[in-house]
């Protein structure tokens, strides 16, 4: 069945990137995320092929468990998103039940858990570059960079910053404890002072970007402890539960479990619950969470995190022009990113052109032929 949606107008969204990618007319305002799924926050509308009006209604009537467990997004950021982490399934279930028992309304801005589901995410870059903060870098590396700035206002952070107390330092910064405002000011000034240098370090460039959009925010100081990751088209991140992250700018395809559970830590006017964030946070310094795709044949890249029910396949014209028999083990969403493709051995399932999407509801092997580029999302 054919589906469509209207991009979400979050303030951090690009005004042109989604329209340029999909060949649609820009709205004139920010277009941050195009949601393709059954999530009740913005369910995709059904254009043809079903009696229901949208995928939330369709999933309630036809999908196993009454829901579509994954959500595909086209994400276009021209400004940083909030600093955030997501819970495990166990944490989400416990938090959801706890807030229900406490009588916290689902639409309360201070609510942390709006459903009992985890929210792991993978993102494939479409733009060059796509920038993100994700996870913590080695403490010794962060200490060396801070010390090199030679600013007395950073001394309280340097004195606290050791491997065994990283979570406490993060909580101290996010809570805007005494001395933190001076640290933020020092970092902002140092980043601005180096703005004319041709090789400003990535971490200090991130400080400058965050300061421009969120002046005085504690997330600026937290970012110094984190990894700045720069992706090129086709490169991907996998963000498991507990990974603190913030997308900085760029265009990408994002696939996640369909959940609204976000614990924020800054770079936002929205609710920040420091104790709950620290409860779910994985504060270990780890390598960049890059996800390497599988390449079953030229022109096909399959992004599939181990042990997680998410799969995103990108097919290029090099494969599609010869035809691909795509094995779909359950509901899947196909988005045409460029050109056009026909679905079915004889085109019996219709055609998708650039910017068009479809839900394939039943398990099947689907013949796909064309000259464009598509993404297939499933769980």
Any idea which residues carry the catalytic annotation? 264
Q: What share of the chain is helix, strand, coil (3-state, %, to 5)?
A: 25, 30, 40
Could you tell me the sign of the dihedral formed by the alpha carbons of 157, 224, 136, 84, in that order? Answer: positive
The C-alpha angle with vertex 339 and arms to 335 and 345, in degrees rounded to 5, equals 75
Q: In whole angstroms, give the CA distance from residue 344 to residue 357.
A: 15
- Hey, what are 104's tokens? 């916290």
Cβ count near 270 (within 10 Å): 11
Q: What long-range pairs does 362-366 form, CB within 8 A, spacing at least 24?
A: 362/331, 363/328, 363/329, 363/330, 364/328, 365/325, 365/326, 365/327, 365/328, 366/325, 366/326, 366/328
Q: In whole angstroms, give the CA distance from residue 212 to residue 224.
A: 15
How far the first Cα of the chain sits from its last, in Å, is 18
């Amino acid at each position: 069945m054919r589906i469509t949606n209207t991009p979400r107008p979050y303030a951090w969204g690009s005004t042109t990137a989604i329209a340029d990618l999909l060949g649609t007319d820009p709205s004139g305002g920010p277009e941050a995320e195009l949601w393709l799924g059954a999530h009740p926050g913005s369910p995709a509308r059904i254009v043809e092929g079903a009696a229901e009006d949208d995928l939330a209604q369709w999933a309630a009537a036809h999908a196993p468990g009454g829901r579509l467990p994954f959500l595909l997004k086209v994400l276009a950021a021209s400004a940083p998103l909030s600093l955030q982490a997501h819970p495990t399934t166990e944490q989400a279930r416990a938090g959801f039940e706890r807030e229900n028992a406490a009588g916290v309304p689902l639409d309360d801005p201070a609510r942390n858990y709006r459903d009992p589901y985890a929210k792991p995410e993978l993102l494939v870059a479409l733009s060059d570059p796509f920038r993100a903060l994700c996870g913590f870098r080695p403490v010794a590396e962060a200490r060396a960079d801070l010390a090199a700035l030679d600013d007395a206002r950073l001394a309280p952070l340097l004195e606290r910053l050791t491997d065994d107390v990283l979570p406490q330092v993060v909580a101290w910064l996010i809570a805007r404890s005494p001395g933190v405002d001076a640290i933020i000011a020092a970092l902002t000034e140092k980043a601005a002072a180096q703005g004319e240098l041709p090789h400003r370090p990535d971490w200090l460039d991130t400080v400058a970007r965050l300061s421009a959009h969120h002046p005085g925010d504690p997330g600026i100081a937290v970012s110094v402890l984190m990894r700045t990751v720069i992706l090129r088209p086709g490169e991907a991140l996998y963000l498991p539960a507990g990974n603190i992250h913030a997308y900085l700018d760029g265009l990408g395809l994002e696939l996640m479990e369909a959940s609204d559970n976000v614990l924020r830590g800054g770079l936002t006017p929205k609710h920040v619950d420091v104790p709950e964030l620290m409860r779910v946070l994985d504060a270990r310094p780890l390598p960049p969470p890059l996800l390497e795709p599988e390449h079953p044949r030229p022109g096909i890249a399959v992004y599939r995190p181990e042990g997680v029910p998410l799969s995103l396949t990108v097919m290029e014209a090099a494969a599609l022009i010869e035809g691909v028999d795509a094995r779909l083990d359950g509901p899947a969403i196909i988005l045409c990113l460029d050109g056009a493709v026909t679905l079915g051995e004889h085109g019996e399932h219709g055609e998708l052109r650039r910017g068009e999407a479809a839900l394939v509801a039943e398990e099947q092997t689907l013949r796909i032929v064309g000259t464009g580029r598509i993404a297939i999302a499933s769980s």
